[in-house]
Amino acid sequence: MKIEIQKKDLLGLLSRTQNIVEKRNTMPILVNVLLEASGNQLKAYATDLEVSLTDAVPAQIKEAGKVAVSAKSLFEITKELFDGPIQLIKKDNNWLEIKQGKFTSKIIGVAADEYPVFPTYNSENFSKINASEFKFMIDKTIYSVSNDETRYHLNGVYFEKVEKDILTMVATDGHRLSLIKKQFKNLSMAEKVGVIIPKKGLFEIKKLIESSVEDVHVAVEGSQFILKAGSCILMIRLIEGKYPNYQQFIPQKFSHNIVVPRDAILSCLKRVSLLANQKSKAIMMSFSQDKLEITSSNPELGDAKEELDINYKGPDLKIGFNARYVEDVLKNIEQENVEFELNDQLSPGVLKAHNSNDYINVVMPMRI
């Protein structure tokens, strides 16, 4: 293998592999990226056996070939080189020589046939969806994903086509639930078929489409979620298991419906929660005639209280919440006013944008 490639192309290619390569030494081979030079392009393969990425960039191929090398080492060296062409030359012992001007470096490589078998797919049934809207849906749900590895089926976001052109994404950790639905045109995937996309895979999708305004193509094949964005293909191994019936966790009737200004309550929560218990982050919300009082107390730190003027005429209600859970929701609602839909101090509350049901958050109350 002997190629010449522009720094910007090589650096961009390698940067997309950095979060995927396995940093833990469960399988040392997984710290490597597999490079394949053929035709007029350099292809890179990276996997941790859960998330796999392949991408290609143009290059002048003088000799075709393959080699696996440390993704981090090659990335760090490339980053420090000058703009312009770089030569990559595979040596007989699978070392990779990197040359530019008077600079020469050799890094230890591994034979390509020692690299794990890379996942493939046959599906041509891809649905086209807008990248920024897909990222928007991930942002609105990923913070509610459970980190409890004993509840493996909750360690991802449930992705489902519920109606003809509507996609739903749901996440819950048992204490809160976030649900968002959006309409997309001409979705070819089957209805009522839901899959659980792991958290790491979602972060890689976000990174890949961060600044993209173009459409991406997605498909589900067997145990894999596949996303194509330009020349890049991301394959994510889905979480096995049955996702809970999330609809039964969303209350349908409420005795209290309270509209509050988003910015005011978010600012208030940040101040009051500074003196909440550092582990539970418990705060008490007391609703009364045209007033909301938020309090916190910590025997080791002190206590805090703040009042907000609100438009509320219903009966008095006191309910405790984890302040961080409520803040996470408020940060992800962009509208000026939010609705608190509540029943009593023991029942879950629903938070959403005023007069909107496209983005719903359920938060369990706390006994204080």
Q: Which two tokens stand for residue 169?
A: 């994404």
Cβ–Cβ under 8 Å, residues 345 and 317: yes
Is a pLDDT exceeding 80 seen at residue 193?
no
Q: How many CB atoms lie within 10 A of CB 276?
A: 24
Is pLDDT at 205 greater than 90 in this prediction?
Answer: yes
Identify the bridge partners of residue 89 per DSSP, sorted by sequence position.
2, 97
pLDDT at 115: 96
Q: What is the mean pLDDT of residues 335-354?
A: 97
Long-range contacts of 241-246 (CB under 8 A, 24+ apart): 241/152, 241/153, 241/196, 242/153, 243/153, 243/154, 243/158, 243/170, 243/194, 243/196, 244/153, 244/154, 244/172, 246/158, 246/170, 246/172, 246/177, 246/179
54-73 residue pLDDT tens: 999 999 999 999 999 999 99
- What pLDDT is stored for residue 212 in this prediction? 75
Q: Cβ contacts of residue 91 below 8 Å, gap of 6+?
A: 97, 106
Compute the radius of gyration of the chain from its Cα atoms. 25
pLDDT tens for each residue of 107-142: 999 999 999 999 999 988 899 999 999 999 999 999
What backbone phi and psi angles, to 5 degrees, belong to 94? 70, 15
**Crossing angle of helices 323-331/262-272, nearest 10°?**
150
- Fold observed for domain 2-114: DNA Polymerase III; Chain A, domain 2 (3.10.150)
pLDDT at 194 over 80: yes
Buried b (16+ CB within 10 A) or exposed e, 217-244: ebbbbeebbbbbbeebbbbbbbbeeebb
Domain 130-245 is in which class?
alpha beta
Exposed, middle or buried: residue 309 (CB in 10 Å: 0-12, 13-18, 19+)? exposed
The residue extents of the domains of the chain are 2-114, 130-245, 250-363
| Range 227-234 average pLDDT | 95
Q: Please check whether residue 265 is in contact with residue 331, taking contact to mean a CB–CB distance below 8 angstroms.
A: no
What per-residue confidence (pLDDT) applies to 25? 63
Shared fold status for 2-114 and 130-245? yes
Residue range 10-24: average pLDDT? 91
Report pLDDT for 40. 97
- What is the structure's pLDDT at 342? 97
Looking up tokens 């983005």, which residue turns up? 359
Fold of 250-363: DNA Polymerase III; Chain A, domain 2 (3.10.150)
What percent of the chain has a predicted confidence (pLDDT) above 90? 92
